[in-house]
Amino acid sequence: MTKWKERGWIVFIGENVDVEASDEMLAKYRKQPPIKRARAVNQPVNRAAVNTERLTVEEGDSPTVAAAKIIALTGADMDFEEARRVKENYLALLNKLEYEQKDGSLIAVQLAEQVLFEGARQARDAWLNFPARIGPMLAATLGIEADKVTEALTPHVHKQIADLGEPEGEFVKR
């Protein structure tokens, strides 16, 4: 009974054990069905004496007892098996995430943004250098001055860069 008490499975009203509430707590956390028993004459429970609206956690209460009091007040959304299933699914997802990170198939959003930014900067720099690199060769082919071709190409390249706009990555956290 000491372990059950430490875990908060035994519910007390004052110094008395609330047998029905304790059976309900045990049913949530144990695989065995609760024992159906008749209430002993010397264990009266006055449920009206339990003020669930003002149930407070005492300073000396252990975390388990405090949690049991809170559950008694608010109710638990899931039984032990459901909580175990949720926990195991969560742990499986964490392990999958860790595996994908180590495998390299999953990268951090910050790294993806950096790669996208660097690629966009390289493309922009290539476009900005295009008139100076191609202008003289195009001028030689056409038989005109290189400076005029470079000057003619530059505004068109700047317009092309403006039309491309800022790089946008769709980084959605799932």
Of 27 and 153, which is predicted with more confidence? Answer: 153
Which helix H or strand E contains 28, and what residues bound it? helix 19-29
pLDDT digit string (tens) for 27-43? 777 655 444 444 444 33
Q: At how many degrees (to 10) do helices 146-164 and 109-142 cross?
A: 150
Lowest-pLDDT range, 68-72, 85-89, 108-112? 68-72
Distance CA 153, CA 168 (A): 27
Lowest-pLDDT range, 135-144, 145-154, 157-166? 157-166
Q: State pTM to two decimals.
A: 0.40
Distance CA 167, CA 32 (A): 60
pLDDT digit string (tens) for 59-71? 777 777 777 776 6
